[in-house]
A = this chain, B = another copy of it.
Amino acid sequence: MSGKRRTQNELAEGVDRRVRVDVQRNLDALLQAAKTMFATSGVDAPVREIAEKAGVGVGTVYRHFPRRSDLVAAVFRREIDACAAAAPLLAASYEPGEALLKWIERYVAFIATKRGLAEALHSGDPVFEPLPLYFQQNLEPALGQLLHAAATAGEIRGDVDAGDLLNAIARLSGADQAQRMVALLVDGLRYGKKASSGVR
């Protein structure tokens, strides 16, 4: 016992203790429970209930997610990723205009299942700060591609900002008439398009 092993409090930097198994287990259970809870009761589901459903104490929740919103963010990150990933797939399978429409449809469906998310997303509440950022960084490029392609193809006008559109749709979704309102917005996209090839 003389080599370069680390006794208890020997050093402090560059450790590599592997993550404890219970941590991973609890984190998974938590994320799973939260996902279910958010889908059924909305993003305002009480932390206590989520913790209980996951079989852990609230302390555990808050150690992993300092703020309630961090949990929300974590749960949605996955689905956001999935939604973003759908863009290139659609772009490869359909013509520009069609791909754009289909992706928006997908996006609307995603937002719709998250009762209260759209509201929380952009409502001054500082607690939900991380979410919009992640949304933007991931969904904006995805939509941007589709938008650009469609504009190049002359299907829509070219001066629409992906971020704006993302926000607008998110805000519109959740309403009873969301479908119609989004359709109206999409028509707005076509309003000043340069060519008028594919519109009937």
Contacts and interface: CB of A to CB of B under 8 A. Distances in A.
Interface of A: 42, 115-116, 119, 122-124, 160-161, 163-164, 167-168, 171-172, 174-175, 177, 180-181, 184-192
Contact of A124 (B42, B185, B187): B42
Contacts of A180: 161, 164
Contacts of A186: 188
Nearest to A157: B187
Q: Is the interface of A mostly helix, strand, loop or mixed?
A: helix
A172 B172 contact: yes
List the 7 closest A-B pairs by CB distance, nearest first. A188-B188, A187-B191, A184-B188, A171-B171, A187-B188, A119-B119, A168-B181
A160 B180 CA distance: 9
A39 B168 CA distance: 24
A101 to B, nearest CB: 15
A78 B131 CA distance: 35
Contact of A184 (B42, B119, B163, B189): B189
Q: Which of A116, A119, A163, A190 has the most CB of B within 10 A?
A: A119
A184 B172 contact: no
Contacts of A185: 168, 181, 184-185, 188
17 contacts: A42-B124, A116-B124, A122-B175, A160-B184, A161-B177, A171-B171, A171-B172, A171-B175, A181-B185, A184-B185, A184-B188, A186-B188, A187-B188, A187-B192, A188-B188, A188-B191, A191-B191
